[in-house]
Structure 1
């Protein structure tokens, strides 16, 4: 009697039952919409009410990517320095990807991006973790002050793809999906499968995940540059 599957079957079994978890931190000035972006992706809707993040908010969602369970942990960080000083090292510990967010209607939030990138470089020296640049609030078309060309030039200088979207606009909800699904694919393809004994492995829980989504996302009208990502 064969008690265990042969070696050729073991990887398939591990792949089927294992769920990988990736930590993604959302960085940027206060009021650029970091909380709304994470809420839109994890809850599938725009929050009715938001308050300034104090410290860090945590949300997560599990996706089925090519038959594999992938959980994205989104760390929504405070934009105000007084709330960040004692926690900044905690934000970056074991991080797998970084999303930099600015408000397309607020020039200052765009001008501050080099400081956020410098912080990331300091906390993750020599790291090759994926980074994405997101311009939020594109629904406020008559108030946009940060031009796409300027944002694209900045993104290219820092080797990041650029996404421009709106967490508030229901018609653009698929665009927000596209941002995080891009990261999910990038992380899944770049990180090797860990054994179940690894500290990165977590058992699946229905309480820990939002609804699963398909991978075919409608991105018509979504302004995005993917030149910096090889998926």
Structure 2
């Protein structure tokens, strides 16, 4: 049984895909800061418990073991603690790289730290997204640069603020590129609108027959009086 402690991270020193002794099983251990990830890894690999550890930048451990009669190499990537800010979790690049590299991910929390427990659900969702991803994280920005476009890596199910920010910035760019309407056009549009809103002038009513007869009688009476006076 042999334990190898490699001080480099996965990103700096990728592990070989195949071991001369057989298969390689790769695991990444992630969780909040100070929950005991390193102690858990060392306990598994060496059977020893060490209570105090210095914060690490992500150490890679390797051990050869027998699994169902087969000699395999187990590689365990320890990772720095993940922090939650503003109810959102962001994985550092080296942690993201470790998750994508691993065949399995161990999520660790402390029973004395409720915040580390609440972090697990979000970490699980991020891990699922990383394993489902089929487009490399660098390909999107690269394509956007080639096309001369802005790039935003967002998830509609994870973070509303990021989605809102992407659309809001697009609106700001459009507003800057689109010229403002001239003042005369705005006044004309207002006048047309007011004209359309103004009530229609009622048409005068046609005189009825009774009114015409009354006016005709008045005209005849006037003529008779005129003739008589003469």
What TM-score do you get using the length of structure 1 for normalisation? 0.43
Q: 1 or 2, which has the higher helix percentage?
A: 2
Q: 1 or 2, which has the higher strand percentage?
A: 1
What TM-score do you get using the length of structure 2 for normalisation? 0.43
Q: Higher relative contact order at CA 8 Å, sep ≥6: structure 1 or structure 2?
A: 1
